[in-house]
Structure 1
Amino acid sequence: MFFRKDKKKSYDPREKTPMIHASICNGEEVAGFKNLKTGAFEEIMFIRNDRDLDDFKKQYGITGDIGKTYITIK
C-alpha cells in the first residue's frame, strides 16, 4: 500500500503566533494563528479532540503548548 507523505506547512513566528480560540458558550475550539501586528486571527482547523490538535501541531512543526483565548459568539 502507498502512503502519501504530508508536507509540512510553515508560518513566520515573527509575525504570527499559534493560538486556539475556544467558545465559552459551547466549547468549540478552532486552531489558527494570531497576527502579532494587527491582532487578527486566521482560522486553520476545527479541533474536535486531542488528535486534531496533534495533527495541527505536526503540520506546522509546533512544539510545546499553544495559547488559548476564550471568546463569546455574538
Structure 2
Amino acid sequence: MSALLGLLLNKYVMGAGAALVGLALAVFKAYRAGASKERQKQTQERLKARQVADEIDNDVGAMSSEESRKELSKWAR
C-alpha cells in the first residue's frame, strides 16, 4: 500500500497526470468552440435564406392577380 502511495506522490507521476488533465481540458475547450462556431454559421445561413424567402414573398404579393396567373402558367401544364 505504501508503495502505491509513494508512486502516486512521485512528482513525475503527478506532473504527467496534470499534463494529461490539461490536454483533456484543451481538447474539450476546442471542441466546444468549434461546435459554437458551427451553430453560429448555421444560424446565419438560415437567416439569409429567410430573408431571401421574405423578399420573394413580397415580390409575389406585389404582383396583380393577372400577372401572377401569367407567371404561374409557365410552371403549370
Task: Give the TM bin, normalised by the shorter chain.
Answer: under 0.3
Q: Which has the larger radius of gyration?
A: 2
Q: TM-score, normalised by structure 2?
A: 0.21
More strand by share: 1
TM superposition score normalised by structure 1: 0.21
Q: Which has the higher helix share?
A: 2
Which structure has more relative contact order (CA 8 Å, sep 6+)? It is 1
